[in-house]
Structures are given as structure tokens and as C-alpha cells.
Amino acid sequence: MASSTLRLSSSSCSRQINAVVHVPKLPKVIPYFSVPKIPTTKPVEELNIRDGFRRIVPVEKISTAPIHDKSPNSDATAATTQLYAILEAVADRVEMHANLGKQRENWNTLLLNSVNMITLTAATMAGAAAIGGAGMPLLALKLSSTLLYSAATGMLLVMNKIQPSQLAEEQRNATRLFKQIQTQIQTMMALGTPSKEDVKGVVEKVLAVDKAYPLPLLGAMLEKFPAKFEPCVWWPSNQQLQKKNKSSEGKQRGQKKNGWSEEMEVEMREIIEVVKRKDIEDYERLGNLVLKTNKVLAIAGPLLTGVAAVGSAFVGNGSWTAIVAVAAGALGSAVTAFEHGGQIGMVFEMYRNCAGFFRLLQESIEATLEERDLEKRENGELFEINVALKLGRSLSNLRQLARKSASSRMDGTTIDEFASKLF
């Protein structure tokens, strides 16, 4: 055997056999039990996991400083905690507006199909009653047609009042804006230490979007047929910023600092002029046109179905009554299909949103230029890039537009180009 050795020895008196067996040493088996570590998840990290923000928002190291500590670190910690709470509320608003947008889009589709089917059925019954019938069959057809036309008229009045396609567009815009705020909060916490002013600004933005796009219908619904087209406003007023800027007017004039120069300020003012003279005016013109068209269609649809209901009640008393009942019903169905199938209300809201976008761009550029302390401004090069991207232009194209605007103003002509290439 490989594992043993036999050694033999003999003597004169007796034979003695000595055997030595070498057994290989086995390692000591020590039972090892791995105890799983209990994860110690911080409350903020649990919030991120629950709401889907993991690997999106970095988890800040929150110190255990006492509440009464007034150091800058404690202020930053409190601001970070408040921003996380606001982030959770914004995520909830995104979900609510997205769900309501889908619901109101379904309203538009279902109500449009129902009204058109009711109207066409009533017109068919009125035509059948006019072709032939007497006694009780004629009365049944007339009564059914009149009731269906009356129901279609009532449903159209409700549809034209609430404008489901416009309601759906409002919720889509609100969802997009709240997602923007959500991204801004995440970027704010990722780049640096937030402050109380940042928290206050975010809260004002959230409340401004809530006011611009309310959730309920009764009592808070936006006016669907205003007297005049007005751009949508979803940002807080910057009157306090303008007062602050005016109080520091005249400081640091002519300095080139923080990426700003006199040439860049002139360029931004020219961009503002192009936006005001071309883009804003064009969207206001189109918005007023769509508003007038929607008003006419909203009146014509119920009016035609109402006339058809009256005509169907007198079918059999003359040939003209049947013609009025059938023709008015068919025209009413066509008008309804054009208004709600074409989503005129959605187009109107889209123009309001586009005009508001240009108004916001104008106010942001003006507020930045009114700030005389160049260090308090956003970096000039970064600001120029943001403006160019919002208008769908490159930096060279943006500067070319500013030069073109300046030359057209000197010549007394109107520039033939819009500032935005996106919409």
C-alpha cells in the first residue's frame, strides 16, 4: 500500500513484527455558518427604492447634527431633506396628471363616437318615417328620432363646454412640466449643496404649474372660450427679481466676467426682438383664429341637432320637415366630427403652450440681462447654449440670426425668419 510501510525485525529468541501505519492527516473540519448581513438602509434610500429613484438621485450623507445647530452643513441637510419630500410630491403629481390625461382622451373618443352614432341613427329613423308609414309606426319613428336628436344635443352641449381633447392636452403638458421639475431637483442635488432659496424656488414652480393646469373640473376648470387668446403661464412671477436687479443698476458696467460681454448682451436683446416680433405674434394670431373657429363649431353643432330634433317631430306634415330633419342631422354629425375628431380644442391649447414657451424665454432673458452683478448671473456661455438649444439652433446660427435682426432694424425692414426652428 502507498499509505503504509511495513518494517520487519527478527531476534534469536522470538520474531517480532512491528507495523507502522502512516495515515494522512485530514484537515480539521470546522463548521462555518455564514450569517447574512442585515441591510441597513437609510430612510432616504428607502424612499428612493420605493418611488423608483434608485440610481437616479444620489443618496446624500445626512449627518446626525442636532436640530438647533445653525451651521451651513445643517442648513444644507435640511434643504436636501425638504427637496426629497418635494421630489416625492412631484412624482405623485406626474402619475396623477398622466392618468387623468389618458382618462380624458378616452372621454373624447367615446363621447364623439356615441354622439355621431346617435345622430346618424336619428337621421335614419327620420328618413324612414318620411318614406312611408302611418299610424303607430310613424309615431314611433318620429318619437324615437326626436328623443335621439335631443339626447345628442344635450351631450354636445356638455362636450363643447368641457372640450375633452383640450383637457387631455392640458394634462399632457402638466405631466411634461412636472417631469422637468423632477429632473431639475435631481440635478440640483447631484451637482451641489442646495440652499433654502433653492427649496423656495422649487415650491413656487410646483404651485405655479398646479395653478396653470388644475386637476378638478368643477370650479377650477380653465375657461375653454376666453374673450381673447392669452399664452399659458406656468412659472412664478419674477417681479421680486426685477426689483432686486433695478436696485443694483449701474454696477460692474462694461466688465467682461463670468462668460458675459457687451456683444453677448446685444446678441440676447436682438434674439428677444425676433421672438417678440415673429414667434409670439404668429402664435397669438393663430391662437385667435383657432379660438374663433372653435366658438363657431361649438355653437353650430348643438344648433343643427336641435333643429333636426324639431324637424323630426313634424315629419309627415310636409316634405320640408323630413328634409330639415335628415339634412340638419347629417350636418350636425359632420360638424361634431370636425370639431372633436379634429381636436380643435387640443390645437388651441397647443398654441397657448407654445406662446407661453416664448413668453417664458423672453422673460428669462430679460431678467438675466437686468441683473447687473455678473457673478450672480448664469454663466454667459452656458446661457447662450441653453437659448440656442431651446430655439433649435446652433451657436453660429444663433449669432447669425442676431446679426440679421440688427441689420434689418437698421434698414427699417422686417426680418423674414422665425427665431425658433422647433415649432
Number of helices (H) and strands (E) in the chain: give both, helices first. Answer: 12, 2
In tens, the pLDDT along 225-235 reads: 999 999 999 99
CA-CA distances (angstroms) from residue 169 to 94, 98, 205, 317, 346?
14, 10, 20, 47, 6
Quote the CA–CA distance of 199 and 185 in Å, as a whole number.
Answer: 9
Q: What is the pTM of this model?
A: 0.76
Question: Around 281, how many Cα atoms within 13 Å sit in the side-chain half-sphere?
Answer: 10
Quote the CA–CA distance of 18 and 74 in Å, as a whole number.
Answer: 83
- CA 316 to the chain's CA centroid: 55
Quote the CA–CA distance of 122 and 112 in Å, as a whole number.
Answer: 15
DSSP string of 288-343, one letter each residue: HHHHHHHHHHHHHHHHHHHHHHHHHHTTTS-HHHHHHHHHHHHHHHHHHIIIIITT
Considering only CA atoms, which of 132, 45, 117 is closest in space to residue 322?
132
The confidence band for 71, taking pLDDT boundaries of 50, 70 and 90, is low
Quote the CA–CA distance of 124 and 105 in Å, as a whole number.
Answer: 29
| Per-residue pLDDT at 41 | 47
**3-class secondary-structure state, position 42:** coil
Do 335 and 221 contact (CB within 8 A), yes or no?
A: no
Quote the CA–CA distance of 392 and 387 in Å, as a whole number.
Answer: 9
| Per-residue pLDDT at 135 | 67
Considering only CA atoms, which of 215, 181, 213 is closest in space to residue 199?
181
In tens, the pLDDT along 126-136 reads: 888 888 766 66
Percent of the chain whose pLDDT exceeds 90: 54
CA 53-59-60 angle, 5° bins: 145
Residue 314, pLDDT > 70, answer: yes
| Per-residue pLDDT at 348 | 95
Do 338 and 297 contact (CB within 8 A), yes or no?
A: yes
In tens, the pLDDT along 188-222 reads: 888 878 888 889 999 999 999 999 999 888 888 89
Residue 19 is inside which H or E element, if any? strand 15-21
